[in-house]
Structure 1
Amino acid sequence: MSAETVTIERLGSGGDGIAVGPGGPLYVPFTLPGETVAIARVKNHGTVMSTAIASPERVVPPCRHFGPDGKNGTCGGCSLQHASDTLYHAYKRELVVEALKMKGLTPTVAPLVIARPGERQRLVFTARRTEKALLLGFNQPSSHHIVDIEECPIGSPGIVSRLEAIRAIAAALATDSQSFRVTVLETLSGLDLAFEGVQKIGDRQRRAVTECVLSLRGIARVSHDGEILIEPQKPQIAFGGVLVSPPPGGFTQATKEAEEAMAALVLDHIGKAKRVADLFSGSGTFALRIASIARTHAVEGDEKALKALDHAARHAQGLKQVSVEKRDLFRRPLMATELKVFDAVVFDPPRAGAEEQCRELARSGVKKIAAVSCNPVTLARDLSILVAGGYRITAVTPIDQFLWSSHVEAVATLEK
């Protein structure tokens, strides 16, 4: 370990400040561009010891658990609470701009659709039983240490106000001192808790969880590794007014506000399309909204998510025809010949993107495409494939739903 003084030049893709020296980039968490700091250095990472010049864009973090001085350690849930809104919003938008530029794409990128505190309807906590208590929170960066949280400004009031109830259920389920995860989703009928990684659950834990949940209010379902342990109320979320009961631990957007913003962009783009394919459809975030205006074909590899979508569509009023298809689009994308019946295609893949599917889309005659992505790098790659196939990017909109992190969503629209 060596000590030195450095000046931060920019923020990196992970949210750390970056100083550039003879040995290449040096990553310094919790710093901002323009700051001069004394650091303790280990290889290409630095820990701030003191600050000689602070950025005027530095603000007081709103959470007591944030940063190197955070209560119970440095919570890894956020990385940029110390940045002003102006700097933070510009940084998020620039992540998309730079990813596109790396692929030679220079479309107009709209201002960031911002996220606000208290909007997160889905949070993933880490938990672990100790001799004294049940720890519930987020891991410290690059560590297995769990920062036990008492507040969380990004979480919805419906989740944050029930932290003790979530702890109680986790404590009833825990069988040893190994850490495990719980995804908490706020639904219209209560909290949906999906646990993963608890070892050797027996009848005693199942009874304890049942007794605990029945003594509480506002818990819709508790599951472990996809198995429902107790479900006092069927969890329900709404996609454009259509009620859906997602599978245990199933994917949903992190905030309702971002979901609505993305859906509005998609629906506006497809316009008066008569028949639309929604690829990587999940439980119907876009498909069930699209079905209010067009015949919709939803394609998804996760059978449980697809069943939830199909059930919702069958029991909803006023929708156009909705067909579903279970298909691994990574291994078996819809071919150009299959795509010719659609006026528009929407795709929202995991972080790996939709490379093979985009190669088929590029060969197709589909007039309009809406690409939704949680990874600017793979989005840029996929868009470059489509542009090479004759598509024109009409708009790119970055959308924030992971407040104070380095993750950003984007919706790109294309025409041929």
Structure 2
Amino acid sequence: MLTIESLTHLGMGRVSDGQSLLPRVLPGEEVDVAQDGTVRIVTPSTDRVAAPCRHFKSCGGCAMQHATDAFVADWKQDIVVKALAARGLSPEFRPIKTSPAQSRRRAKLSGRRTKKGAMVGFHARASGTLVQVPECQLLTPALIASFPALEALTVLACSRKGEIDLTVTEAALGPDVLVGTDKDLTPPLRVELAALANQYGLSRLVWNEEPVVTINPPAQDFGGVSAVPPPGAFLQATTHGETALRGAVAEITQGAARIADLFAGCGTFALPLAKRAEVHAVEGESAMLEALDRGWREGRELRRVTTETRDLFRRPLEADELRHFDAAVIDPPRAGAEAQIATLAASDVKVIALVSCNPVTFARDAQTLVEAGFAMPWVQVVDQFRWSPHTEVVAGFTRK
């Protein structure tokens, strides 16, 4: 019999033998592990609950449905606390904000043909096995309702033995679907796909990088300003999580007249901030900036927004380029933005809103700013990847 000592940041249980890592266990539990690797819970934790989704045991989409919401919230917040403590930082933490069930508005699914038609779903944990998830408790009802369309697409797009990628995003006027496949888009197939999109009410259908049909522009609302992202573009996972992050960023940058939005994407922060400030949006992907610019031009009562396509990893904005800004917002990928943070630390910018999806790189970048003379009064953890090991963090930094 083994005892679960603690969980890793990925939700795997460290056991008393000091060698094994087990999935879907909780600290303090006593378990038996069979020769085939099957884990039997002998003494369950008081934090253990029945998984709300019937697909949990077979699907690899979730890692923590076996724990109470309170446990998961404390565990995720503690991951950020420990990452900052390792850097000598101990700011105040605001209560975590967790997105509700059935709120994930974007998903990357896989499709495979079968003898009777097709199946669409997620892969099992660490496996190539595809699992259908018709009652998934993560995805919005609108995404679940798109499954018949995705299955029909799979029949057209997939070879007998292969798989296709299906990136589907909820939009007000119908699902926005990007198909990833090695099958060529022929003129006859294009006609079939357009008919399918009309039949199932898709707003847009894109084949690899080639648009097939746009029936209704799949606009997204960014704090009251509408923009149409390019196919498969990054969006915050839930509207609940985006609202929480946007509210924190607005609070941090309150009073700033000119704001630099770095890694701006399609305008998650830039467009709503333009209601009260001039914004310079910088992003490495030109298509995302084009969407942001169109959203700004078609918006109402917005201050000036300028855009700049630039690789901020190789060419961060330098201190002299930042001298015109009262505040900066930075939301980098998981690798963080070490070079850009360094130039921000050396600049005259007084206020920085740092958003991150990686507690480790967030802590590294936060340490750089604090050592440069910034105060970090509070941290907000936002859990929009419910039941997964992933989490978002936002904090404000004010130059002392």
**Amino acid across the alignment from 2:217:** K
Partner residue in 2 for 1:225: 208
Verify: 1:98 aligned to 2:88, yes or no. no
Structure 2 counterparts to residues 69-108 of structure 1, below 5 A: 74-108=58-92
Distance 1:175 1:317 in 2: 47
Verify: 1:131 aligned to 2:102, yes or no. no
Distance 2:229 2:218 in 1: 7
Show structure 1 runs of 5+ residues with no match: 68-73
**Amino acid across the alignment from 2:80:** V
Show structure 2 runs of 5+ residues with no match: none
Distance 2:165 2:138 in 1: 18
Distance 2:386 2:308 in 1: 34
Normalization by structure 2: what TM-score?
0.96
31, 50, 53: which one aligns with 1:37: 31
- Contact 1:297–1:322 (CA under 8 A) maintained in structure 2: yes
Q: Which range moved further: 87-96 or 281-290?
A: 87-96
8, 21, 24: which one aligns with 1:27: 21
Structure 2 counterparts to residues 261-272 of structure 1, below 5 A: 261-272=244-255
Partner residue in 2 for 1:71: none
Distance 1:410 1:143 in 2: 30
Q: CA deviation at 1:143?
A: 1.1
Partner residue in 2 for 1:56: 46
Secondary structure class of the residue paired with 1:386: helix
75, 78, 97: which one aligns with 1:113: 97
Distance 1:149 1:411 in 2: 32
Q: CA deviation at 1:51?
A: 1.9
Structure 2 counterparts to residues 269-348 of structure 1, below 5 A: 269-348=252-331
Secondary structure class of the residue paired with 2:200: coil
Q: CA deviation at 1:347?
A: 0.5
Verify: 1:154 aligned to 2:141, yes or no. no
**Amino acid across the alignment from 1:35:** E
Verify: 1:239 aligned to 2:222, yes or no. yes
Q: CA deviation at 1:410?
A: 0.6
Distance 1:129 1:271 in 2: 52
- Contact 1:336–1:361 (CA under 8 A) maintained in structure 2: yes
Q: CA deviation at 1:25?
A: 4.2
- Write the deviation string for residues 353-378 of structure 1: whole angstroms up to 9, x where unpaired: 11100010110111100001111111
Partner residue in 2 for 1:385: 368
Q: CA deviation at 1:292?
A: 0.5
Distance 2:329 2:66 in 1: 36
- Write the deviation string for residues 264-290 of structure 1: whole angstroms up to 9, x where unpaired: 110011111010000000000000011
Aligned pairs, number: 399
Partner residue in 2 for 1:70: none
**Amino acid across the alignment from 2:54:** R
**Amino acid across the alignment from 1:61:** A
Distance 1:378 1:11 in 2: 20
Distance 2:341 2:19 in 1: 34
Partner residue in 1 for 2:383: 400
- Contact 1:174–1:205 (CA under 8 A) maintained in structure 2: no
1, 6, 31: which one aligns with 1:10: 6
- Contact 2:157–2:183 (CA under 8 A) maintained in structure 1: no
Distance 1:111 1:137 in 2: 33
- Write the deviation string for residues 159-200 of structure 1: whole angstroms up to 9, x where unpaired: 112222221123222244212211111012211011223433
**Amino acid across the alignment from 1:54:** P
Q: Which runs of 4+ in 1 moved over 4 A?
A: none
- Contact 2:185–2:207 (CA under 8 A) maintained in structure 1: no
- Contact 1:392–1:414 (CA under 8 A) maintained in structure 2: yes
Distance 2:185 2:116 in 1: 21
Distance 2:191 2:261 in 1: 41
Distance 1:363 1:157 in 2: 47
Secondary structure class of the residue paired with 1:234: coil
**Amino acid across the alignment from 2:236:** Q
Verify: 1:365 aligned to 2:348, yes or no. yes
- 1:330 to 1:176, Cα distance in 2 relative to 1, 3 A: farther
CA RMSD of aligned residues (A): 1.4
- 1:351 to 1:242, Cα distance in 2 relative to 1, 3 A: same
- Contact 2:376–2:398 (CA under 8 A) maintained in structure 1: yes
- 1:197 to 1:350, Cα distance in 2 relative to 1, 3 A: farther
Secondary structure class of the residue paired with 2:193: helix
- Contact 1:172–1:212 (CA under 8 A) maintained in structure 2: no
Q: CA deviation at 1:118?
A: 1.3
- Contact 1:126–1:182 (CA under 8 A) maintained in structure 2: yes
Secondary structure class of the residue paired with 2:40: strand
Partner residue in 2 for 1:172: 156
